[in-house]
Chains A and B, each alone.
Chain A
Amino acid sequence: MEKTSIKQSILHILQELHEDIDFENEKRLIDDKILDSFDLITLVAELGDEFEVEITAKDFVEANFNSLDCLTEMIYQLMNE
């Protein structure tokens, strides 16, 4: 799967989660508490289903969740592991 299509799918999931957040430009989703722990758990479950990857404790670091690009990179890496 290409990174651009991964990114599109993740954007779609994020927008379903919070329709009012500008996910294409936000770079500090975790640091600025834009996403909270409930969001994160929902997001991880949906990413897991969508891309058939397993996100585990080691992936739960701020750097993987702070922006759409970070999320895309993490999923891309997990898919190619």
Chain B
Amino acid sequence: MQTNILEYLENTVKRVPEKTAFADENQQLSFEGLEDTAKRIGTAIASERIYKKPVIVFMKKSPALLAAFFGVVYGGCFYVPIDEEMPESRIGLIIQSTKAEYLICDNTTIEKVQNLNFSGIIVLYEKCIEHNIDDVKLDKIRKDSLDIDPVYVFYTSGSTGVPKGVTGCHRGIIDYIEHLSEALQFDEDCVFANQTPMYWDASMKEIYATLKHGATTYIVPKNLFMLPVKLIEYLNRYRINTICWVVSALTMISAYKTFDIIKPKYLRLVAFCGEVFPVKQFNIWKRELPKVEFYNLYGPTETTGVSTFYHADRIFADDEIIPIGKAFPNTQIILLNEDMREVRENETGEICIRGSCVTMGYYGDFEKTNIAFVQNPTSPEYRDIIYRTGDIARKDKDGNLIFIDRKDNQIKHMGHRIELGEIEADVLAVDGVNICCCIYVKENNKIVLFYTGDIEKGKLTKELKKKLPRYMLPNAMIKMDTIPVTQNGKRDRRKLYSSYMMNMENTI
């Protein structure tokens, strides 16, 4: 039985050593090359006696980045990706939270790293891969590794302003990739185009499916997601046949009539995730590309990857919602009501997920872990952990899950998962802000910030850019004299929303 994700790589190297695994404009890595590079990195880490520890990987998105990830795993450690687009203060919080002692960077990030106040060992990727492989050391590490050992920590938005590090293990990834591959019929002929960032679990679909099947993943340059015609030209140039993208990347293509100019020629499967696909846009894809199979995927980072899937094989009516479907094999979805009891037919409830896919919780934070990862109330006699997603859903007559809403202030904006509370915490930390409140306006997909204080909007934006990733910046800011409150003294989000909407109508 497979117990380590590196077995995917090693088995594939035996079959198709010279085939390209990962490529971008500047670099191609074959499976053989990937294994060799990763083993060098693993040996470099082992030679510093860093073992079963987090290793920060701060490199630009590239095939080399993936070699570094697997290198960390060869070294018996787990990777924590940091991206150049994360603001410095967020990177600082992540490093603090992991207490990492080893960091891998490259020529493009070394300058930023030197400003970070990182006290551990800093190694350049380019130096790391000059290390000779020590097979004895690596074999020993492998022999001692278990499938419940962590592979990665992915940081995601946390409501109190501190990002949460979701920790995932070998078993979760293997369980996920096996079932995803079966459901979507991935194979060696898959040519993936990666869109999602590597510090996010969504990218594991193509990364690990590539390793398992000996497929190929092209890393799409980010700026192409602003240039839809060039993006399709790219897909055609590399004969891309499989894409797993967030909905906003897909709607960017369909909404601007790209298909009138050019169509993807080789595409056979489109999987979408991250948020609800607006039916009108989905129908454009479905009509324009009738031979392509479409899958809606759903799942939180806390359960490794996606947990449910739905084969969207028809045109939908304008008032329909595309279901998120049914659980993968070996995964169970339980809908619980507020009393933690299973809901009856047709009732809505919180999606709770059970299975090997459930991750190990939030790194270094048992308090938050214990709130979200709880005992399954339907089997109170033995230890059985479910993850409470905070997503509300119901089942339709065919047993497919329909996503309804969130029960808290977590939102999905341009495919990213964001806690409005985290934005508010960072706004409040800025000098000159007294009170603030963030709302999400679904009508125009905007994060709107209301605040009181004497700081001007331009200055506030500048300060926020230092702390928040780009996708978390408020899209509109409104300076107020006071923030309205409810009878209970809570900030009145509903009132703010309606006054914002009224204002919008007046300006039109």
Binds A, one of B29-37, B156-164, B257-265, B422-430: B257-265
Q: Do A33 and B223 form a contact, CB below 8 Å, given A19-B477, A57-B261?
A: yes
B168-227 with Cβ < 8 A to chain A: 222-223, 225-227
Query: B462 an interface residue at 8 Å Cβ cutoff?
Result: yes
CA distance A33 to B460 in the complex (A): 21
B444-A36 in contact (CB<8A): no
CA distance A38 to B477 in the complex (A): 17
B252-A37 in contact (CB<8A): yes
Closest to A61 in B: B227
CA distance A40 to B476 in the complex (A): 15
B226-A37 in contact (CB<8A): yes
Closest to B252 in A: A41
Write out the residue numbers on chain B whose beta carbons fall within 8 Å of the beta carbon of A78.
none
Query: B248 an interface residue at 8 Å Cβ cutoff?
Result: yes
A38-B257 in contact (CB<8A): no
A37-B225 in contact (CB<8A): yes
CA distance A18 to B261 in the complex (A): 32
B260-A38 in contact (CB<8A): no
Closest to A45 in B: B444
Query: A55 an interface residue at 8 Å Cβ cutoff?
Result: yes
Q: Do A57 and B257 form a contact, CB below 8 Å, given A20-B465, A38-B414, A41-B252?
A: yes
CA distance A38 to B225 in the complex (A): 10
Q: Is the interface of B mostly helix, strand, loop or mixed?
A: helix
Query: A8 an interface residue at 8 Å Cβ cutoff?
Result: no
Query: B330 an interface residue at 8 Å Cβ cutoff?
Result: no
Q: Do A38 and B457 form a contact, CB below 8 Å, given A16-B476, A17-B475, A60-B228?
A: no
A38-B462 in contact (CB<8A): no
A20-B462 in contact (CB<8A): yes
Q: Is the interface of A mostly helix, strand, loop or mixed?
A: helix
CA distance A33 to B506 in the complex (A): 33
Q: Do A55 and B470 form a contact, CB below 8 Å, given A19-B477, A20-B461, A37-B225?
A: no
A56-B257 in contact (CB<8A): yes
Write out the residue numbers on chain A whose beta carbons fall within 8 Å of the beta carbon of B225.
37
Q: Do A60 and B461 form a contact, CB below 8 Å, given A19-B477, A45-B444, A55-B256?
A: no
CA distance A15 to B93 in the complex (A): 31
A60-B227 in contact (CB<8A): yes
A56-B260 in contact (CB<8A): yes
Contact with B along A59-80 (1 / 0, CB 8 A): 1111001000000000000000
CA distance A39 to B445 in the complex (A): 12
Contact with B along A39-60 (1 / 0, CB 8 A): 0111011000100000111111
Give chain A nearest CB distance to B464 CB in angstroms.
9
Closest to A49 in B: B508
Query: A6 an interface residue at 8 Å Cβ cutoff?
Result: no
B458-A19 in contact (CB<8A): yes
CA distance A17 to B248 in the complex (A): 19
Closest to B251 in A: A41
- Partner-A contacts on B (CB < 8 A): 222-223, 225-229, 248, 252-253, 256-258, 260-261, 414, 444-446, 457-462, 465, 470-471, 475-477, 508
- Partner-B contacts on A (CB < 8 A): 16-20, 30, 33, 36-38, 40-42, 44-45, 49, 55-62, 65
Beyond A38-B248, A42-B475, A59-B256, 17 additional contacts (C-beta under 8 Å) are A19-B477, A20-B458, A20-B465, A33-B223, A36-B226, A37-B222, A40-B226, A41-B252, A44-B256, A45-B444, A49-B508, A56-B257, A56-B260, A57-B256, A57-B258, A58-B229, A58-B261
A and B contact pairs by CB, cutoff 8 A, 26 listed? A16-B476, A19-B457, A19-B458, A19-B460, A20-B461, A20-B465, A30-B226, A36-B226, A37-B226, A37-B252, A38-B248, A38-B414, A41-B252, A42-B445, A42-B475, A49-B508, A55-B256, A56-B256, A56-B258, A57-B253, A57-B257, A57-B260, A60-B228, A61-B227, A62-B227, A65-B226
